Amino acid sequence: MAASSLFPVLSENNPSLEGVTMSYVWYEYYEAVVLETDWTKMHERIQSAECKIHDRQRVLSEDHGGTPQERQAIANALNGMRTLQAEVADWQSRQALRASETSAKASIPEQGMRPNAI
């Protein structure tokens, strides 16, 4: 998935999502997910971001604060990370399949490499 679909409007000077300027802790964790390039770290980054987002959602539900734009940005971030999590799971299963194929090939002797009969 392209980072642009998860992180549609981002500039270094004015980070925003769907036109909402972000200044929340959860957004920093979400940004780390979107900018991560190491697939082996992606699951951990997603879990951290989801935890921070859920913390923020609890605060919003207790004090009925926040803006509709932030609530929509949170929903968009969670949806994007769910999609990314599915892609990470697919990548991990492909990696596991490759590893098992490699080990299976290593354990099968090549044809024509039979011991010489005397």
Summarize pLDDT for 31-80 with one digit per residue, the tens. 999 999 999 999 999 999 999 999 999 999 988 788 888 999 999 999 99
pLDDT at 101: 84
pTM (predicted TM-score): 0.67
Instruction: Kindly report the average pLDDT of the chain as a whole number.
Output: 80
Q: What share of the chain is helix, strand, coil (3-state, %, to 5)?
A: 70, 5, 30
Q: How confident is the model at residue 20 (pLDDT cuts 50, 70, 90)?
A: low
